[in-house]
Structure 1
Amino acid sequence: MPLGFTGARLDRADQIRTDAAAFATAVADPRALCLVLDGIDFVPGECGGLRWEPLGDGDDRAPMLLGLDEAGVPHFVREPAPSQRIDARSRTVMRLLPLLSGEEAALYGGARSLVDWHARHRFCAVCGNPSALFRGGWGRKCDSCGSEHFPRVDPVVIMLAECGDRVLVGRQGGFPPGFFSALAGFVEPGESLEEAVARELFEEAGIRVSDVSYVASQPWPFPSSLMIGARAVTDDPALTLDTTEIEAAMWVDRAEVRAALAGDMGAPFMAPPPLAIARYLLEDWAG
């Protein structure tokens, strides 16, 4: 099953990013296209999908290379304007995402995260002076101290704990009524993915787990996470919730999960949307 925000087919063309002459040639290519964004939200085309326009010379903002398509056409996105305020965690674009194909969503997700990173990293983290784009938009360099900075990705573990023939789902206070999902949390410095899974499940739900196994991963551009899906096993279903993180949690069996995935009115919870890896984990577990 394809995961949301995966499957972009553009060649990222790293060899062009690091070659100033090749990058200039790509920018000057009359076929070059630029992704149209409103802040970091995409602007739908006339028939849905992403909207592209000729790169041209009508915008002073620097172009950042997304990659080349199969015909060698360069695709770009513009850097954010210095005065532009960006809310990277805004979910308003969620209602528009069904207009995109899976490949378009993947391409948009990468562009969104890149633009957001530049908006939040205009100054050198070493000396505090302004930094400038380099490597075709995939980095920033400080002219004062020479430090180089590159877009970051935040690893997040998202997991299903199994106890017999049931799995654990939970909800935060901000979720829609009835909505439950897999538990998740950021990986901390100095721990492995397996350790992060075990720690988060204990901190949020009070359960001890073993047999942590990897399932799949997904980029999540809100703002720039890598969701790392896993399963773990426990033999004690007793829950002790950290109510600052989890409002409610429950164990559900396969029939209940399948009912939720099917959207049955009698299901005990509302399942995550198709784009989310949490849904993939539940579908995979439910068979």
Structure 2
Amino acid sequence: MRLDLRGVHARHPSAPRGSAVLRSIDLHLASGEQVAVIGPSGAGKTTLMELAAASLRPGEGRIAFDETDPWTLGAAALKRQRGRLFLAPQTPPLPPRQRVVTAVLAGCLPGWSLARSLRSLFYPADIEGARAALAHFDLAEKLFARVDRLSGGERQRVGLARALMAPAGLWLIDEPLSALDPTRSRQALAALTGLARERGITLLATLHQVDMALAHFDRIVGLRAGVVAFDLPAAQVDAARLAALYAQHEAELVSPGAPPFDALPPTAAAPVLMQCR
């Protein structure tokens, strides 16, 4: 699925006055492309993802999926369009008493009839599909566990496994690593990027972990104070650009013990670890 944002301005309805507003956002993803969005807290990354999910209407500008503006559609057509997308929020909305298999199969709901959806609540419709999705995140043994028995990192990975079941051409993954250790983070991103590439799915992800973004994505968008600071191949995102992007937010960028940015070559990609918040 192709995604285009042209001249988009927006503010999240829950944002306090004076907080980051997205301004003049131009972002274009070709079908099957994979892009990571980085930037300091308050830059507008989550608002950008909600725009891309057609859950937040832009104040100005235009968003289009395969050249179709969702906000020109009727209610039924807009619902169908949203069913072609999958948004994985940082904190997945998983009912605590639900079984993991049911939570994962919820990704299938846009492609199921109401009758099949209700039946699957009692007799899961694709147990092996859910097990395979969980296996990509090393969670297959949790298939029939209750969500409230999982750790925060396990719940986050269940939310990502749900994406693998969705009949979507665009995955929107918001801060998928906030509860994961470095090993699980690498595993999760390898699974998402590898399967998206294999299936021809467009992938847009926001990340605090700059080193992970540079390692797993070929294209990086830097967002600061609601404005695109840069949109570059990962190889061109050097220490100087990162230092400028995170100016006054250095604590979010460099982990304890990492080399200072002014000690790195100006053209070298910064091998840094992010502190998740």
Does the TM-score normalized on the shorter chain lie above 0.5?
no
Structure (1 or 2) with the larger CA radius of gyration: 1
With the length of structure 2 as denominator, give the TM-score of the two structures. 0.30
With the length of structure 1 as denominator, give the TM-score of the two structures. 0.29
